[in-house]
Each structure stands twice: as structure tokens, then as C-alpha cells.
Structure 1
Amino acid sequence: MFALLKAVEFALTPHGRLKVGEMKPGSIKSPASNKYIANFTKTQSISRSLSALYIGFLDACELLSSMRGVGWDYGTGNDIYIPLEHRSSEKTGFLKSTLWSTLGYYLLLDMIDTGFKLVPGVSSPSGGSIFRPELSLIPRLVVSTGLHFATGVAFIAGFNMFYGLLTLIAVSWWQPPSAWPPVTENPWATTSLHDFWGKRWHQLLRQAFFVGGGYPLAFLGKTIFGVLFGERVGRTAALWGLLLGTFTASGLFHMFAMYAMGQGIEWKVVGFFSAQAIALILERAWRTATGRRVEGWWGRAWSYLWIVGGGQWCVDAWHRRGLGGGMVIPPSLSVTRLIILPLVLKSKANSNILVMREDDITVLNSSGDSWKLSNLAAPASVEAGHIHAIQAAREPHLFIKCTAGSILQSAKRQVNPRDPVTAEAPPKLRTYQRKEPRRK
């Protein structure tokens, strides 16, 4: 879909896309004026020994892969916000800072991914709701809000981690640091929805959504309402059409991406993104009526209400299709599962957290004792010990939460009539058997 929208954009730009400061491809008219972007876009920065064909090829590759338009005519000035750079402009220092931040985001994403594998239902590749039906209203909302918040953190960590990896590759090989400004700018510090969507959230698909919905609806609004009610009303209708069309295109993009998860689509996703346009219009109306911007702590509360509160049904649609149960960090590369949790278990003699690995189907307690888990299917529990196994025998590096101090000898499978996986099989007795230590 992104490639299709790119093709439409290029087709509707008869004179082609130009780099910052170009009069025509390869012809520079002035130095770059964007304060966040150095002269990395100039053909002078490429060795003059290269042929014009090769330079054109590099420009074409850059244009096709440029999502924010950094250094291009559609991504400069007021068209797009470039987050402020806090890393060193010197290449070595820039790469070191990027490496450490990328590792930090990787660890954060790994911990959240591991945490999702602890939640019943959500940990399943077939999906589960963040609204736990077995809980009363208040605990259910607390759990859903926590899972929704964790999902947002995971998205931010994922964006920054993969962007950091690409930054390390590109800057190490050929591009200067100024070509890779930050992808987000502390989304948690937002003071309004304008601030969040226009500056702090990533702008990677902004141009695509303009082309796919914003520009067409703005044109229709200006044309129709301008003819019927005058130029002033037409300009207002164009602005509203730009907002509504852009966010509706974003909703359609995310909804059709959901189709790849194999369980159909939900229009709730489109509803969430389209509602953001309405909220932005309300912010503009507030400023027009009062002369004050939406900002400060109350502006932050307003933003969180729309995103953290209203976005839960959108995130729930993804989790019911297996978002939390998918493999994000391979178990063999998971620092949390291979190093952090085992260290935590060993450091707490009376810990009530148990770890099971699918490859040897062994449960380890904090004392280092090992227990053989016989023929366990998911989900399961030890009733007297309150051991809850999440997706046992189907998830690598399974984590089991135990509220008792020890493992009991018998386990009885709990069948959830709403879960087709567990409802098909009758309950069976499961046993834990102590593994004998190997003789040397």
C-alpha cells in the first residue's frame, strides 16, 4: 500500500521531486536552509568522479526509501517537523550514542515482549482480548490500560530500535549523521494532540496519508463548500478535509495491515484514527474561542484521554489477532529470557516466579531444583498451588507465575469454554515429576 501511494504521488508530481536547494535534478541553486539538515543532499557531497548516471541512481534510491522526505522538497520548512538532535554531529560520537540507544530500546522491547507472554489469552498466537472477562469492571480497566500502555511503549521501542539499526548501517557506510535525525521526540511529554501527532509521534507515513486521503478530501471540501458558501468557508472545509482524510487514510492503512494477521478486519481501527481528526478540530475550535492553545498538564490529560483511553479498543483488535503472542524477539536473542530472569530467580530464594523452557519441558524454581513437566497442554494450572501456565508447550521459553512457595505433585487442566483450543480436549491429569540429577 505504501508503494502504491508513492507511485500515485510521483504520478501527480509532473516536474518530479527535488532535493533541498535544487532548481532541477543535479542543479543547485542555494545552500540548504533547513536548520536540521546539513548539505548531505547536495550532489557536491558525492565524489565528482562518479558518473551522472550513478548519481541519479543514488538519488532515485534515496527518494524511494525516504519516508519523511528529509532533505527533499516535500519534507522541509513547515511541511514536516524534524525532531531536535541531541547526539554528537561527529561521526564516531554519533554512532556510539546511536548504538547505546538502540541497545536500550532493544532491551525495553524484549522485556515488554516477555511480559506479554505472561498474560493469559494475550500470549496466544491466535489472540486474546486485553479486556479480561473474568475480572470485575475496575480491575478489568486497570489491566486493559496497562496492556494498552505497554503496547504503546513497545511500538515506540520498536520504531526507535529498527530506525537505530538502519542509522548505524547508513552512517557507517556512506551517509553523514545529519541525514538521520531522531524518529520520535519523547511522545510521553505531549501537551496536546497537535503536539503529539504533528511533532512527537513518528512522521514516517505522513506524506503517504496526505496523498491517500488528506489532499483529495481537502480538494473536495474547498471546491464544494467554496462554491456554495464562499472562499472563507471553503478554506475551513479544506482544512477539516485534510485532517479527516489524512487520519482516515491512516486508519484504513492500519486496518488492512491487520488483514495480514489472518483473522479479518475491524472498523474500530478506522474509527479510532478518524476520531483523532475530530479531536484536533476541537483543539482548533478551543483556540479560536479562547485565544489560548491546548497545553500544560490539562492538555496532557486531554491527550492521554484520547490516546490511552480511546485507543484501547483499537489495540484490543490487534491483540485479539495475536499481536502479543507473535515472535518479536527470537528466544535465542532474548536477553530477558536467557539472562535477566534466571539471575532474578537465583537471587531470590523464596521467589514465586518459575521459568519453563519448551525445548526440554522443564520447570525451574528459584532454588535451582528442576521438575519434569509431563504432557502439559495450554493453558494449565496447579489448582492448590495456583500455578498458571501460559501457552505451555506452544511458546518457546514459557514463563509460569506461581503464588505458592513450591510445586505440587498434581495439576489439572483448566478448560475455558470460550477458547476453542482448550474446549476441544477433555480435562486430563497432569503431573510434575522431580528430575533426578545426572551422575558424573
Structure 2
Amino acid sequence: MPRRATLYEELSVGTRLAIRTLIPPPQQREPLRWNNFHRAFVYFIPFLFMAYLVRRAHTYPIRLLLLPTLITSTIYSTYHFRVDDPSCVMLDWLRCMMAYYIISKSLNFGLTPGGRFKIGEKRLLDISETEHQPRGGKQSLLPTWLADALEVTFVVRGFGWDFGKGVHAPPDSRSMERRTFLQATALSFFKNVFITDLSDSLLKLVPGVGSVKGGSIFKPELPTYPRYTLSTTIHIAGGTMVVCGLEACYDLATLIAVGLLGHSPPNWPPLFGGPWRATSLRELWGESWHQLLRHMFLIYGGYPGYWLGGRAGMVFGAFLASGVFHALALNIHDHRVILFFVMQAVGILAEVAWVRVTGRRVGGVVGWLWKSFFVLVLGQMCVDAWAIGGFAGATLVPKRLSIVRQALFPVMRLVFQQPWQ
């Protein structure tokens, strides 16, 4: 007589089948094409409904009921498609990043009973009420309800909102007069696009690194000093590309939000506060680095970590969530990515201990060297995993749109008579 499966075995098998239904193996996923592109992002429709509801009073039960469907549909739509072209791996990164962001926002919107308020708001409208005028700033080109839902979605750092309390805003040298602000932002956008293009183009010239096949930034055939000089140069170029690429995207979002959607310029301060000038890890990650994903990492790891281990647990949880996010979103199966981010938490807690023991904050030249060790030295393990995964050779700026490869490199080839590729 065959043995009956235990309840544990049945639950285990059912769980594995459910996971496989939501996240099938890569070879079973549908290739992403233009004719099915909309299906990979269809979850954004119910999410916009969730964003609308969180700005309306007495909608908590509806949001709770919507939450499981929204999370599962986001996972399903994201992981049922794959990008076959390895040069377009950045598209997969963007899709996964968007999915994790939407899930974190969904959790926040769905589990906040009172809804989300702008600073100064006393009450939210009921669903039955109609708002005919915008709540601040100039008239938006979109319907008020849609502009409101998009704003609570994409004002990522939360400036001007209840969930943005405690987020550091870097000082802004731009005029807050709308036209002048937009002109300065447009100039910043073109500058950051050029630097991103230049860094990306230079990385693609490095043999064994700048191809979609990938390769380590550490070249064993080189002597020690040239080997680590090259790896550090690649690391700095990659970091510059990340910083300026993010700033270019943020500049573009700022132009759309302020210029078209009527957002207030003070709600779109600079993204970075000069990370190269930071003299401690706390200053780097808390003030100088962008805070775009701060709220997401607190939701995924910081708040659970606080419940388990207080403020130290919050720091570890947030950086652990950051490491897992960077590994999963980039589909990198390399523990060094997570280790790099966890080490940042170790360094920050060491700084806290230093302050308690000595009464002095980490800073000055010694603090800058301390911070640089964690970023420029330990950070190379993360960039190496990224390079081995083929991300240096992936398409970031299409060659036909690259000013550097279409104009600058040909001019340099003529001047120096070198075979630039």
C-alpha cells in the first residue's frame, strides 16, 4: 500500500509548484517582443488604481484586497518573459528594478490604513468627491486624479510627502523660478548624457571586459601594480557611468514632472550631494548618495531588521535588502555583490561605535580614506561581478546615438591615427 504524503510534503510540493508558476525557469520564459511588450508591464494598470486609492479616504479594505493580486501579477508579468539579446541585458535590469519598486510601493500603499498625505494636507478626498483644481503648482496636462496617482508613485524620495520625512535633500544651486530651473536642468541632462556616453564607450574598449561575454576586471596576466591600476580605473569609470547615468535619468524625470505635470521645483532637488567629497560612510550613504531606493530598502529590510534588532538591525536589514536587490535585478549569481553592501553596514556601525567610544565623529582626511577604502577597494568585488556578467558590454547608449563613438572617437582616430573601435 503506497504511503500517503504528509501535510508538510503536500505543502512543500504545492509551494514549489506555485513558485514555478510565478517564476518559471529562464528557458521556459517567453521571448520579449514588440507584440507582447504590453503584457510584460500590464501590472502597472492595477498599480495605478492602487496609487489612486491611497490618495482617497476610506479605501483601506479595497487596498488590502487588491494587494495580493497586484504582487502576484507583477511577479508573473516580469518573470514570464526574457530578453534573448545579451546586449539588451539592461532592459531586463530595468524591468526587474521596476517590478521590485512597484511591489515595495504596493506593500506601502496597501498596508497604510490612513493613506498617503502631502505635507500640510489635513484630509483625503472620498472616492465620490471630484477635485477640479490641482493641489499645488501649475495646472497639469493630465487629469487631476491621474497626475496625483503618478506623483505619489514617482516622487521616489518623498519630498513634500509624509513618507519623505528624514530624507536628506542636497543643496540646490538652481533658481526656483520655473523657467530658469528647467533651463538649468536641461543643461545638466545633456552634460550627464555626454559623460555617461564617454564612460560607457571607454569601458567597451577594454579587452575581455567591454563585451557581452563578460570578463574579470582583474587581469592575471598583468603584473600586480598594472593589474590593480587597471581594475581601479575600470571601477572609477563604471562608478562615473552609474552616477551620471542616474543623474541623466533623474534630470529627464525632473523636466517631465516640473515642465509637464506641474510639480513644484523644490520637490525635485539634486540627486547626489557630491559622493566623492564625503568623509564618512554615514555621510556617503545617508546624504551624498542618491536616496531613490531608500524607502524601498527600508520596506524590504530596514523595518523588519528594526523589529528584530533595533537600529543596528535596521542598518543591516536595509543594506542586505540593497545587496539582494542589486543581485536579483541584475541576475548576478555572485555572493560578492551582497557581501559588498553588507560590508557597508559593518563600516557604518563601526563609525557609530567610534563616536560612542571617542565622542568624535568620523571625518577629515582619515574619514575620507576610510570611506574610499570601502568604496574604491571593496567596491571592486561588486564591479568585477558586474563585468563578468557582461554588463560592461551591454547596450547602454546605442551606438547610432553615441556622440562619443560617432563623432569623438573618429576625430581622435584621425588625430592620433589609432585604430579606435
| TM-score, normalised via structure 1 length | 0.68
Could you say what secondary structure the match of 1:124 adopts? coil
Find the aligned partners of 2:123 and 2:259 in 1 and give their Cα distance.
29
How far is the alpha carbon of 1:26 from its aligned partner? Answer: 5.3
Find the aligned partners of 1:66 and 1:89 in 2 and give their Cα distance.
18
Find the aligned partners of 1:14 and 1:272 in 2 and give their Cα distance.
36
Find the aligned partners of 2:207 and 2:300 in 1 and give their Cα distance.
38
Find the aligned partners of 2:125 and 2:364 in 1 and give their Cα distance.
46
AA aligned to 2:135 is T
Find the aligned partners of 1:142 and 1:293 in 2 and give their Cα distance.
31
Which 4+ residue blocks in structure 1 deviate beyond 6 angstroms?
A: none
AA aligned to 1:82 is A
Q: Percent identity?
A: 39
How far is the alpha carbon of 1:352 from its aligned partner? Answer: 4.8
Gaps of 5+ in 1: 28-40, 222-237, 356-398, 400-440
Could you say what secondary structure the match of 2:299 adopts? helix
Q: Select 1:287's aligned residue among 326, 333, 355.
A: 355
Alignment of 1:268-279 (within 5 A): 268-279=336-347
Find the aligned partners of 2:384 and 2:192 in 1 and give their Cα distance.
23
1:73 aligns with 2:138: no
User: Paired residue for 1:179?
Assistant: 267
Deviation string 1:123-171 (CA, Å, 9 cap, x unpaired) is 1101111001211222111111111111111100101111111212222
Find the aligned partners of 2:139 and 2:379 in 1 and give their Cα distance.
49
1:319 aligns with 2:402: no
Could you say what secondary structure the match of 1:353 adopts? coil
Alignment of 1:142-181 (within 5 A): 142-173=229-260, 174-181=262-269
AA aligned to 2:419 is L
Is the CA contact 1:26–1:43 (under 8 Å) kept in the aligned structure 2? Answer: no
Deviation string 1:289-343 (CA, Å, 9 cap, x unpaired) is 1111101111111000001100101110011011110111111111111211222
Find the aligned partners of 2:256 and 2:190 in 1 and give their Cα distance.
15
Could you say what secondary structure the match of 1:303 adopts? helix
Find the aligned partners of 2:296 and 2:326 in 1 and give their Cα distance.
13
Find the aligned partners of 2:314 and 2:306 in 1 and give their Cα distance.
5
Find the aligned partners of 1:191 and 1:71 in 2 and give their Cα distance.
28
Alignment of 1:246-261 (within 5 A): 246-259=318-331
Find the aligned partners of 2:389 and 2:146 in 1 and give their Cα distance.
41
Q: Pick the structure with more strand per residue.
A: 1
Find the aligned partners of 2:374 and 2:194 in 1 and give their Cα distance.
28
User: Paired residue for 1:241?
Assistant: 313
Count of matched residue pairs: 315
Alignment of 1:36-47 (within 5 A): 43-45=135-137
How far is the alpha carbon of 1:23 from its aligned partner? Answer: 2.0
User: Paired residue for 1:140?
Assistant: 227
Could you say what secondary structure the match of 2:122 adopts? strand
AA aligned to 1:59 is D
How far is the alpha carbon of 1:47 from its aligned partner? Answer: 5.8
Could you say what secondary structure the match of 1:24 adopts? coil
User: Paired residue for 2:378?
Assistant: 310
Find the aligned partners of 1:47 and 1:322 in 2 and give their Cα distance.
45
How far is the alpha carbon of 1:82 from its aligned partner? Answer: 1.0
1:104 aligns with 2:191: yes
Which is worse superposed, 181-190 or 17-26? Answer: 17-26
Alignment of 1:15-414 (within 5 A): 15-25=114-124, 43-45=135-137, 54-76=143-165, 79-173=166-260, 174-221=262-309, 238-259=310-331, 264-346=332-414, 348=415, 351-355=416-420, 399=421
Is the CA contact 2:182–2:255 (under 8 Å) kept in the aligned structure 1? Answer: yes
Find the aligned partners of 1:112 and 1:271 in 2 and give their Cα distance.
26
Is the CA contact 2:137–2:264 (under 8 Å) kept in the aligned structure 1? Answer: no
User: Paired residue for 1:13?
Assistant: 112
Is the CA contact 2:138–2:263 (under 8 Å) kept in the aligned structure 1? Answer: no
Could you say what secondary structure the match of 2:210 adopts? coil
Is the CA contact 2:209–2:215 (under 8 Å) kept in the aligned structure 1? Answer: yes
Is the CA contact 1:5–1:211 (under 8 Å) kept in the aligned structure 2? Answer: yes
Find the aligned partners of 1:339 and 1:129 in 2 and give their Cα distance.
29
How far is the alpha carbon of 1:98 from its aligned partner? Answer: 1.1
Larger radius of gyration: 1
How far is the alpha carbon of 1:81 from its aligned partner? Answer: 0.4
Is the CA contact 2:336–2:382 (under 8 Å) kept in the aligned structure 1? Answer: yes
Gaps of 5+ in 2: 1-99, 127-132
Deviation string 1:223-258 (CA, Å, 9 cap, x unpaired) is xxxxxxxxxxxxxxx010000000000000001012
AA aligned to 1:14 is P
AA aligned to 1:291 is G
Find the aligned partners of 1:45 and 1:99 in 2 and give their Cα distance.
20
AA aligned to 2:347 is A
Find the aligned partners of 2:418 and 2:124 in 1 and give their Cα distance.
62
Structure with larger RCO (C-alpha < 8 A, sep 6+): 2
Could you say what secondary structure the match of 2:419 adopts? strand
How far is the alpha carbon of 1:175 from its aligned partner? Answer: 2.4
Structure 1 pair 99/45, CA: closer, same or farther in 2 (3 Å)?
closer
AA aligned to 1:326 is A
How far is the alpha carbon of 1:199 from its aligned partner? Answer: 0.6
How far is the alpha carbon of 1:58 from its aligned partner? Answer: 2.5
Find the aligned partners of 2:161 and 2:190 in 1 and give their Cα distance.
30
How far is the alpha carbon of 1:11 from its aligned partner? Answer: 2.6
Q: Pick the structure with more helix per residue.
A: 2
Is the CA contact 1:214–1:241 (under 8 Å) kept in the aligned structure 2? Answer: yes
